[in-house]
A = this chain, B = another copy of it.
């Protein structure tokens, strides 16, 4: 289909975003032409600012305005615990809850045989380096309860345990407030396996 070059290029840019195909990209590009000048200028400026000024923390892989993120540079955090998550947004989930006071490590993905993601492709090497200082006493693995998340957790556990560091995994079981009737089978099995004395 014929579009002016400027529109075709914008459609192309929108298509590079995850989950946005040609149809949606076209709709977004047409919408952009009709947006207020100020909004489009802001959009472009915000894209550049976020990309230029934000980077991954050199220590933990979290989002940072400088070289080291706010959490890693906070002297009040418990440096003996590292909670390992798949994505930066998982950090914000734990921070919102506010009950965890240790440090984080963001893997930026999971080991995946299907997608051909090997341990070298995700942020594991820098996690191992962090263990050398003998301050860390526990690694809490908080990858998702998917098969990739489980694979990654098992890999990390086997890699770290021999160094004499405690490795734990978030508990699996019934979600608080949920009905047993609607729980899936695997969750129910895990909930029975991990039952606790009351």
Q: A interface vs B, CB < 8 Å?
A: 1-4, 6-7, 9-10, 12-13, 16-19, 24, 26-35, 37, 39-51, 53-56, 63-65, 87-89, 92-93, 95-96, 108
Contacts and interface: CB of A to CB of B under 8 A. Distances in A.
Contact of A13 (B42, B55, B93): B42
Contacts of A40: 47-48, 51
A43 B33 contact: no
B95 A30 contact: no
Q: How many copies does the complex hold?
A: 2
Contact of A33 (B42, B51, B93): B51
Nearest to A55: B33
A110 B108 CA distance: 45
A12 B46 contact: yes
B63 A33 contact: yes
Given A13-B42, A16-B35, 9 more contacts: A1-B92, A1-B95, A1-B96, A6-B53, A13-B46, A17-B31, A30-B87, A35-B51, A41-B51
12 contacts: A1-B93, A3-B63, A6-B54, A9-B49, A10-B46, A18-B27, A19-B27, A26-B89, A33-B56, A44-B44, A44-B47, A47-B47
Contacts of A48: 40-41, 44
Given A26-B89, A54-B33, A43 B6 contact: no
B7 A17 contact: no
Contact of A50 (B6, B19, B26, B54): B6
B16 A43 contact: yes
Given A18-B27, A54-B6, A47 B65 contact: no
